[in-house]
Amino acid sequence: MVEQRNSLFEGAFGRFVLPGIIIQSTLIGGGYATGREVVSYGAKFGAMGWIAGLTIIFGFGLMAFLMFEIARRFRAYDYRSLVKQFLGPFWFLYDIIYFLLAILIISIVIAATGSILESTLGLNYWIGVGIIAVLAGILNFYGTSLIERFKTFGTTALVLAYILFAVLVISSSWGEITNVFATGNTSFAGDFTVWSIIGAGIIYVGYNLAVYPAALFTVKRQKSMKDTLIGGAIAGVLMTIPWFLTYFALMGFYPNESVLTADVPWLQMLDGYGLWIGIIFGIVVGWTLIETATGMIHAFLDRVNHNLEEIGKEPMSKRTNGLVAIIALVLSAVLSNVGIGGLVSTGYTILGYAMLIVYGVPILIIGSYKIIKGVKSEQKLENECMMKINSFRLACPAVCLGDIYPGHSCHRSYIICSQP
């Protein structure tokens, strides 16, 4: 059984699919758990919101490919090594934006959890906030092992639950959905242009760039540009499927303001499907939001501890880790008073632009340049290798040519051994 599991992860699944799964699992909380994010960055445009969806799937796929390929070429399997490839000495700017995004995402998570538990289980809003703070603190205190178990169950449960929710809502409101597209209804958004829709998709991709480095450890299995291309395309699809499921579900209620302006639109869409559906949603999404808050804090603590080890200092103790987690949660709880709508529409937009500036644009321009330069260099070496092999064959036909360039691609491609 263990051998079969290892062969699964070391084969095509590990090269092509696993990186996308890891990124998607990290994306869930800040990307589409409440539905508010999909409204702000696509669904508000009604029948034309799919344009934002196509922008998102292309952007997610492109950014995934660039990260995978740069990490593969330069063996940059941790976030600092990766960011240094295109930010150089300014790599710390990514850390700053990441920390601010983490606080913002956790604030939205806290506000959403309080609202969800209040609506589905009848708990007071601040009791829900207290629950997420305590659980996130406990998980960060005990560390990686407990977090991994918590994350595995939560991610699996949420994916299955979202399929259930989408099927319920879309199947029961199919007529309304088709009517929105048939009439070209975009009334909720007011005046806008196609570029506004594309821009919304780009911002959505931008603020979610913070989750990409979570998959760096999986890139070690990718051995060629073909692997990173396919892996990037699959990642883009996996990351966008839940977005489209939520988008089409929202179209069944378009342009209903009670749904589209709600802090947690999914709660409104699932109203009327029975108490048990609401309770499942509350538990599963609450679980996953706690998972997201924990993951963001834990990732930041890991980065700080890694930096301390690099400069020869001891990593932070469990007590210090817990203190940092508490400070982050307190800041986030204070910020959560702004409300989910304001945090998503304003906070995500501002930090989305910031992440595009310090990560998206540099990896697109400098990263692409380095990849193209590397490909040209490989082609030049390949041509030189071929010339060397041809000349060697003429001069020494009885020698095994596999020893000419050991370790280079031409060594694998052009092994020619002649009999004496």
Q: Which CATH number fits domain 2-413: 3.30.460.80, 1.10.10.10, 1.20.1740.10, 1.10.240.10?
A: 1.20.1740.10
Structure token pair of residue 360: 């998206």
Give whole-number Cα distances, 28 to 24, 115, 162, 201, 296, in Å: 6, 18, 11, 16, 12
Give whole-number Cα distances, 123 to 116, 179, 199, 372, in Å: 9, 38, 38, 56
| Tens digits of pLDDT across the chain (420 residues) | 444 445 566 677 888 888 888 788 778 766 777 888 899 999 999 999 999 999 999 999 999 999 999 999 998 887 778 888 999 889 889 888 888 887 787 777 777 777 777 776 677 777 767 776 677 667 666 655 565 555 556 667 777 887 888 889 999 999 999 999 999 999 999 899 999 999 999 999 998 888 888 778 788 888 889 999 999 999 999 889 889 999 999 999 999 999 999 888 988 898 888 878 877 877 777 776 676 677 677 767 777 777 777 777 877 777 777 777 777 777 777 777 666 666 667 788 888 899 999 999 999 999 999 999 988 887 787 777 777 666 665 555 544 444 444 444 444 444 443 333
| Residues whose CB is less than 8 angstroms from the CB of residue 380 and which lie 6 or more positions away in sequence, other chains included | none
Q: What is the reported pLDDT for 198? A: 97
* CA geometry: angle 60, 12, 220, nearest 5 deg: 70
pTM summary value: 0.79
